[in-house]
Amino acid sequence: MKLAIVCLIPDFGHLIPLIRIAKEAIKDGHEIRFFVPDEAEPIINKKEFCSYFFGSVTPEHGQKSLRRLFDAPPLANRLILRYLFDYDYLVPLKINVLSRLDEVRSAVKFFGPDLVIGDATLSFKEAMYTIAADCGVPVVLHHAPGTNQRPRRIRVAGKRYSIRKLVYDFCSNILISVESRSTRLFAKAEWERRKERSLIVEGYKAQFAQLKESRPGTKLLYITTGLAALETKYLGNLIEVPPDRILLGPLPPVSDSEISSELNSWLELAGGRPVIFVCFGTLASFSRKAIDAIVEAATELDVRLLWASKNNPLQDVRLSSSDIRWEPWLPQPAILSHPAVRGFLSHAGGSSIQEALWFAQPLICVPQMWDQPYNGWVTEKLGFGVTIDKTAFTKERLVYALQKVIYSDELRQNVTNLSAEVRAQNGSGRIRALIREIGGSAKKIIEPTL
């Protein structure tokens, strides 16, 4: 069969699960083509998939907006910056993507797929549906966070909203109202620009909603390949479980390359001392105080650190030890599967959580944004990690967390048992069976033409 895999946004957290699906599907001999923005080219080309790149969609100053969001204090972030981020980043991103959808639809239709697999995110679900409807084939949409909850709607002790959240929401609404009125009165050009962009997005949404209504015969399925089944089993009374999602287990991590012989020698020189892998993704930022706390905690416990990040966080740290090593990039699955590695200090991104559990690595989570606080909550509730609030990150808290993930027999037994359980869920076999069933039963309605 021909599978068209479509990801409309330049976010590796949404793209990587689709790559994992493609890696499983290719085992059955399916012909696969990715349809992605230009920003995905490095990772797609590295995986050697056929692909169609439809242009860059990142807004002007987009990286600056993302960095500001991640660097801001959590209170300012929650109260006002997420609202401003919508106008500075998300709305321009949506416009850039939606303006290229006719091109994407034509390219997918020309490919002539038997099944469309896409990312279920932002305002693009109806667009994904119409892409599949144009080809007369079913569409499977993947929920990227891989969790079973609706974002930030955790029910603890039967209460959906805490008093603190109600206060935050109340204050946020006031600040947003003040900002909107001030912009309308004193920055009319900006106010008009916001209105114009919002109308463009609403117009596109209405257009694709109409197209979806006019083509009701296309089959639509929602899936997730993350920890959702595990969360449902053990945390079902604390989370909201969407009823329309097919829960598949995690898929085997995809590694780009193996560990170099030189790095492998460094790892094997540990002499029985634990190595902690440190990786906070591409956007998370840490203060010099927090970086010093990590180095000091590792030194105090005689723990070796292997740190992966784009920029060297240790360049201003006085180091006389070869037990702390930085690399600009590392093959994460290969590192997590190495026997010398005894834990993972992470930002709690969805892919990182799944890979850590797959390789039975206990986690120390320092969540930053979006689904990461929820993921950290899950690791603690399921007993395979410790979470530290980034606003309360200290050497003492990290020393406690390191001691627990390295020396707690109960935690290590939990992560071993849960790792065996997620592997036994056979996400690989289940996604391959789903593709064969849905794609194989599809009957083409429209033949692909230019």
449 inside domain: no
In this structure, the answer to whether residues 239 and 274 fall within a common structural domain is no
The 3-state DSSP class for residue 17 equals helix
CATH assignment of the domain containing 120? 3.40.50.2000
Q: Tell me how many degrees the CA angle 156-174-183 measures, rounded to the nearest 5.
A: 135
Residue 199 tokens read as: 């109308």
Name the residue range of residue 186's domain.
2-250+427-441
> Measured on CA atoms in the order 360, 366, 372, 378, is the torsion positive or negative?
positive
Residues 434 and 399 in one domain: no
d(CA 370, CA 151): 8
The domain tally of the chain equals 2
Q: Is there a single domain that holds both residue 13 and residue 144?
A: yes
Question: Are residues 26 and 44 in contact, defined by beta-carbon separation less than 8 angstroms?
Answer: no
Q: Contact at 8 Å (CB) between 101 and 127?
A: yes
Structural domain includes residue 186? yes
CA distance 139 to 142: 10
Q: What is the mean pLDDT of the chain?
A: 85
CB 450 within 8 A of CB 110: yes
Q: Residue 244 has what pLDDT?
A: 82
Mean pLDDT value of segment 221-247: 86
For residues 287 and 313, give the distance between their C-alpha atoms in angstroms, rounded to a whole number: 9
pTM given for the model:
0.88
Confidence of residue 115 (pLDDT cuts 50, 70, 90): very high
Q: What is the DSSP string of 370-432?
A: TTHHHHHHHHHHHTSEEE--GGG--HHHHHHHHHHHHH-HHHHHHHHHHHHHHHHT-HHHHHH
**Residue 446 lies inside a defined structural domain of this protein:** no
Q: Same domain, yes or no, for 282 and 203?
A: no
Overall average pLDDT of the 256-273 stretch = 85
For residue 53, pLDDT beyond 50: yes
Greatest mean pLDDT among 58-67, 84-93, 235-244, 420-429: 420-429
Tell me how far apart the alpha carbons of residues 210 and 206 are, in angstroms, rounded to a whole number: 6
**What's the pLDDT band for 448 if we cut at 50, 70, 90?**
very low
Same domain flag for 232 and 300: no
Tokens (6 digits) for 190: 């900006």
- Which phi and psi angles does 31 have, rounded to 5°? -85, 125
Strands (E), 245-313: 245-247, 275-279, 304-308
**35-49, 238-252, 345-359, range with greatest mean pLDDT:** 345-359
Dihedral class, residue 14 (left if φ above 0, else alpha if ψ from -120 to 50, else beta): alpha
Dihedral (C-alpha) 107, 108, 112, 114: value to the nearest 10 degrees? 170
| pLDDT for 433 beyond 50 | yes
- Please check whether residues 65 and 92 belong to one and the same domain: yes
Select the more confidently predicted residue: 121 or 194: 194
